[in-house]
Amino acid sequence: MRKALAVGIKEFRQIRRDRRTLMILLFIPVFFLLLYGYALNFDIKHVKLAVEDRDLSPESRRLVSAFVNSGYFDQVASVTIEQEIVDLMDRDHIRAALIIPRGLGRDVRRGVPVSVEVIINGENANTATTVMGYASAVITTESARYQMAAPGSPAPFVQLEPRVWYNPDLRSSLFLVPGLLAYIGMITAVVSTALAVVREKERGTMEQVRMAPIGTLPFIVGKSLPYFVVSMTAAVGVVLASMVLFDLPVRGSWWLLLLAMGLYLFGALAMGLFISTVAESQQVAFQIALLSSFLPTMMLSGFIFPIASMPTVLQIVTYVVPARYFLVALRGVLLKGSGFLAVADSLAALMLFAVIVTSLATIRLRREWA
């Protein structure tokens, strides 16, 4: 164990000296958090809205106040002709406009479907999507109410496809942070571990260490421990930062959260080690890491694209993507306040992944060293 410690201390010193690795380990997570959290998806409130109410019925007024009362929209203008909307939008006085057609009240009372036009400034596509989501939510709610009042109506009041899924509050950061954690785990653990081992192969220091009387196990433990500590720190840092910046709730227990992160990172480190036994150069290691860990975590974990809407073949592939289980566990613990039993399945899957990959890595490393 003293030897493992010697390897660990050396690795820590190397990490500290190697600015690039340190950047990857600590700053990229924060950078991504800010980028995704603020720049791309931060909640938009007080969208300036112009209203053109051609109906002026009790129903149309209800709809307008539903928009305003949602808190997402501020009505800054009432217009009577469409040209005014164009002017206001041109001068950036408004970002959205609501146009209620004549006869809305009458049609609704009769149960005839009607469409409400919402114009959104699309300069920022992401903002527009979000605003569209708000508008859609407001309209759907109103629509549902009329439907309930008039049972048997053939179609909803207004049909609008909501654009943001899994987050009815449209608080995008809540849905984002678990994904980010999974992503960060992959960057720090897989890439840096894989590169750290392969670098030793490239520089010849691996051969020197192999000449020393140190077994594979102390070497692996000493080599991965620093990365485990650093990536755990980065993960906890992201959670804390999200709590401060985005009001991320931690509704479940911290212990469960740490357990989930620990198991996930354990698997990711093992993945990195495994890659290092296959790759002979840092470039190759990086590419393998990219294909085997990075992309699946982004694409196939449910982080960006919901698994349920993937083709069946891809859905099957997602079963071997550890981030999939990690996300379920994280969303459970963070957002739903799930207890141990509720996430036990996911934790078990993470554990299984880690154990299998560690065994593979050890077997390969033993063979390589023998």
Residues that bind another protein (CB under 8 A): 2-3, 5-7, 9-10, 13-14, 17-18, 203-205, 207-215, 369-370
Closer residue to another protein, CB minimum distance, 85 or 196? 196
What is the nearest approach in angstroms of another protein to the Cβ of residue 214? 5
Closer residue to another protein, CB minimum distance, 209 or 243? 209
Containing 47, the helix (H) or strand (E) segment is strand 47-53
What is the nearest approach in angstroms of another protein to the Cβ of residue 359? 21
Closer residue to another protein, CB minimum distance, 43 or 368? 368
What is the nearest approach in angstroms of another protein to the Cβ of residue 210? 6
Closer residue to another protein, CB minimum distance, 81 or 370? 370
What is the nearest approach in angstroms of another protein to the Cβ of residue 203? 7
Q: Which letter does DSSP use for residue 118 in this model?
A: E
What is the nearest approach in angstroms of another protein to the Cβ of residue 268? 24
CA 273/CA 351 separation, integer angstroms: 16
What is the nearest approach in angstroms of another protein to the Cβ of residue 228? 19
The DSSP result for 271-288, as a single string, is HHHHHHHH-SSHHHHHHH
In 47-72, which positions are buried (b, 16+ CB within 10 angstroms) versus exposed (e)?
A: bbbbbbbebebebbeebbebbeeeeb
Contacts of 216 (CB under 8 A, 6+ apart): 362, 365, 366, 369
CA 222/CA 4 separation, integer angstroms: 4
**Which long-range contacts (C-beta less than 8 Å, at least 24 apart) are formed by 12-20?**
12/226, 14/196, 15/226, 15/227, 15/230
CA 43/CA 40 separation, integer angstroms: 9
SS (H, E, C) 10-21: HHHHHHHHCHHH
Closer residue to another protein, CB minimum distance, 8 or 185? 8
CA 267/CA 351 separation, integer angstroms: 7
| Residue 330, token pair as written in the block | 């994280």
Closer residue to another protein, CB minimum distance, 4 or 335? 4
What is the nearest approach in angstroms of another protein to the Cβ of residue 190? 21
Closer residue to another protein, CB minimum distance, 198 or 260? 198
